[in-house]
Amino acid sequence: MRAAWRAKRDAFLRKIGARPLVMGILNITPDSFSDGGRFEDLDAAVAQARRMVADGCDIVDVGGESTRPGATPLPARDELARVEPVLETLGGTLDAPVSIDTYKAEVAARAIELGAILVNDVWGLQKDAAIAGVIAERGAAVVVMHNRVEKDAALDILADIRQFFDRALERATKAGIPPERIILDPGIAFAKTSQQNRDVIARLGELADYRLPIMIGASRKAFLGGMSDGAEASLTGTIAVNLAAAANGVSIFRVHDVAEHVTALRVFHTVKAGAPERS
């Protein structure tokens, strides 16, 4: 990793915990559940990245393969064909760091070469055996997300998440990824029932003993529709869940609607910190 990108990585990691951080979603895909096809064009993707940074996001997460349920897996070469032009354009010019949303070692390696400072792995180092080594060798940070092949309503979902994280962290340690570069994500809406998604939000505090930052990605997801009379993609519902997560210790929020979340989380943080005493 180049020195300039290491500096961006370290600056981003230092901000974690000082205030809530926002990760802006940039899907370079035709089939993502919410914004598929909107940013396939290079100019549109770059403009959206710059718009999110102007709106206050702390990092832009670039993804070339949809991870929605039922999506067709994409070969690494096709994923790279989607993300390389965007990363080449943004890597040295964007006023914010860039992350890559991938579980493939080949894609992660190339993305880091092009300036990605973080790998957002939706399979938590457990899909591609080589990815932990790539992340360690090239100095990137990582988001370890909980995932499953299929739902199981009988599970204690927090117990399953902990078992998954324990395996992932063992792999990270063996590969040489330092703890200060690891972020955990409980994987909202990934192979979980609506009730399990709600349970995760309510019980996020149980993950505090890992002493690692927690990220959450609940933006526009279907389970939100079951908690209100509004549409599942409700911005109001997403903000409400993210504020509940913030109250339970979450540090980073992966969202589509950056400006609204920056404002809501700033207000939350200000209120939580308390007004300064008057002399």
The residues annotated as belonging to the active site are: 221, 254
Alpha carbon distance 138, 6 (integer Å): 10
| DSSP element (H, E) containing 199 | helix 194-202
Backbone angles phi, psi at 119, to 5 degrees: -110, 120
Alpha carbon distance 175, 134 (integer Å): 9
DSSP string spanning 4-70? HHHHHHHHHHHHBTTB-EEEEEEE--S--TTTTTTT-SHHHHHHHHHHHHHTT-SEEEEESS--STT
User: Tokens representing 185?
Assistant: 């994500």
Alpha carbon distance 180, 124 (integer Å): 16
User: Tokens representing 189?
Assistant: 């809406």
Helix (H, G, I), strand (E, B) or coil at 233: coil
Alpha carbon distance 149, 147 (integer Å): 7
